């Protein structure tokens, strides 16, 4: 069920209509074989120090994952967020956390536009989802002022912060305002590591100990570990126990555990500071280059932008770009958006120059036809 206003995109579904887009679609589909990838929000390549350290544990693969290592990692993560170790559940990526949600809800609501995996897993489980559609600029102030409503009966509400694909960073106040008796608010903070440090301190809820909050964090994006699947959940022990009730034995492998340990022990200081600075610098340059080329770019807090190219037929241009080896993330699979929007991973000036140049050339060819 769709609720709210879908905004100003003519390609987006109309208010009250059922969204029929492919919620199981992800950007890696577009990125396969691409020479220049703006479709996947993974930062570059895995750091060399992390690869070398992981390589030293390859001989550990003959044994089952060590529960003491699991506990060590949970202690490290708990310390970072001011939590107890029983408030941390290690995951095979945040996607696993979403896959477990049907076991803890009966009437979920997902605030859109946002990552659609929660919708996909609920549909697969035969659970109806209330899609709460925010209008541009896609902020939770619309919920607070009553212009967009979360159903009173929703016992689970999912929201991203910063939200994928809009790159909107919601305030802690607005996130906490979603709480209600008998409800769990699930906050996807997969990209929170690389927002500005002061913004993270002001907006994160990973450190908020409340039985009505469940927070997901990811190592995939910041540390380029998409192929290893590393993430964790933070919440009340009884909520985590319910979430994990039907997990198989050894759900997180040995290399995953070591990757999470290594990042917790060695990545959260200077390496993370440098990564944050790189994201901020590249994002500022990217916005300036796109602005200069006439693109419409939304304000962004995360390592990706929501943008509209200055072309008459963005979908035709996107497909032509793919044929030239340039991948962008289509947005018609996000409820509330449409084909005129693209999500673009933050990249360096050379790649952005390639994108702008190719779009300009393709648009010129299309005008000549």
Q: What is the pLDDT of residue 2?
A: 59
CA distance 89 to 260: 12
In this prediction, residues 325-341 reach a mean pLDDT of 96
Is 12 a residue whose pLDDT tops 50? no
Same fold flag, 2-44+271-368 and 60-270: no
Confidence of residue 14 (pLDDT cuts 50, 70, 90): very low
pLDDT digits (tens, 9 = 90+) for 102-131: 999 999 999 999 999 999 999 999 999 999
pLDDT more than 70, % of the chain: 95
pLDDT of 19 above 90: no
Predicted pLDDT of residue 6: 40
Mean pLDDT (the chain) is 93
18-22, 115-119, 133-137: which range is least confident on average? 18-22
- What is the predicted pLDDT for the residue at 79? 96
| pLDDT higher than 50, residue 13 | no
CA–CA separation, 342 vs 46, rounded Å?
Answer: 25
Say which residue, 6 or 116, is predicted with more confidence. 116
Return the pLDDT at 21: 79
d(CA 130, CA 288): 37
Above 70 in pLDDT, residue 285? yes
CA distance 113 to 334: 6
Domain borders along the chain are 2-44+271-368, 60-270
Residue 16 confidence (pLDDT):
45
Res 365 pLDDT > 80? yes
Q: In the predicted model, is pLDDT for residue 30 greater than 90?
A: no
Distance CA 61, CA 357 (A): 47
| Choices 3.40.1080.20, 3.90.1150.10, 3.40.50.10420, 3.30.565.10: CATH for 2-44+271-368 | 3.90.1150.10
- What's the pLDDT score for residue 231? 97
Nearest in space to 309 (alpha carbons), one of 324, 323, 329: 329
Q: Are 306 and 328 in contact (CB under 8 A)?
A: no
Q: 60-270: which CATH topology? A: 3.40.640
pLDDT of residue 18: 65
Sequence-distant (≥ 6) Cβ neighbours of residue 298 within 8 angstroms: 137, 166, 167, 305, 306, 307
The answer, yes or no, to whether residue 44 has pLDDT greater than 90, is no
Q: Of 34-48, 192-206, 302-316, give the lowest mean pLDDT range.
A: 34-48
User: pLDDT-derived band of residue 4, with 50, 70 and 90 as boundaries?
Assistant: low
DSSP β-bridge partners for residue 158: 110, 186
Q: Which of 301, 272, 114, 67 minimizes the C-alpha distance to 203?
A: 301
- The pLDDT value recorded for residue 3 is 58
- Mean per-residue pLDDT for 34-49? 90
Residue 203 burial (CB < 10 Å; 0-12/13-18/19+)? buried
**155 DSSP assignment:** S
Mean pLDDT over 186-203 rounds to 95
């Amino acid at each position: 069920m769709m609720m709210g206003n879908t905004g100003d995109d003519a390609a987006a579904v109309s208010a009250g209509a059922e969204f029929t887009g492919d919620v199981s679609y992800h950007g890696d589909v577009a990125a396969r074989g691409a020479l220049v990838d703006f479709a996947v929000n993974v930062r570059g390549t895995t750091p060399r120090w992390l690869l070398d350290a992981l390589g030293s544990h390859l001989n550990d693969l003959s044994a089952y994952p060590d529960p003491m290592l699991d506990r060590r990692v949970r202690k490290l993560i708990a310390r970072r967020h001011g939590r107890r170790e029983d408030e941390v559940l290690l995951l095979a990526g945040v996607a696993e956390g979403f896959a477990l949600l049907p076991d803890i809800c009966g009437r979920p609501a997902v605030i859109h536009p946002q990552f659609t995996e929660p919708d996909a897993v609920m549909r697969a489980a035969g659970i109806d989802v209330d899609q709460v559609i925010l209008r541009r600029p896609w902020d939770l102030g619309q919920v607070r002022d009553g212009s967009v409503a979360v159903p009173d009966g929703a016992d689970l509400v999912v929201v991203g912060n910063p939200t994928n694909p809009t790159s909107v960073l919601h305030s802690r106040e607005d996130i906490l305002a979603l709480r209600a008796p008998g409800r769990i608010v699930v906050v996807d903070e997969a990209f929170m590591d690389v927002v500005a440090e002061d913004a993270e301190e002001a907006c994160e809820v990973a450190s908020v100990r409340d039985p009505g909050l469940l927070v997901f964090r990811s190592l995939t994006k910041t540390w380029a570990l998409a192929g290893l699947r590393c993430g964790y959940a933070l919440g009340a022990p009884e909520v985590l126990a319910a979430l994990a009730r039907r997990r198989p034995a050894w759900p997180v492998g040995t290399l995953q555990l070591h990757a999470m340990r290594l990042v917790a022990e060695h990545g959260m200081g200077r390496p993370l500071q440098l990564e944050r600075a790189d994201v901020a610098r590249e994002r500022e340059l990217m916005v300036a280059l796109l602005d200069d080329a006439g693109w419409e770019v939304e304000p962004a807090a995360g390592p990706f932008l929501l943008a509209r190219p200055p072309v008459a037929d963005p979908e035709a241009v996107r497909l032509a770009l793919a044929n030239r080896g340039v991948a962008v993330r289509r947005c018609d699979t996000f409820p509330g958006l449409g084909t005129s929007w693209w999500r673009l991973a933050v990249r360096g000036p050379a790649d952005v120059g390639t994108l702008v140049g190719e779009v300009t050339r393709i648009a010129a060819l299309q005008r000549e036809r």
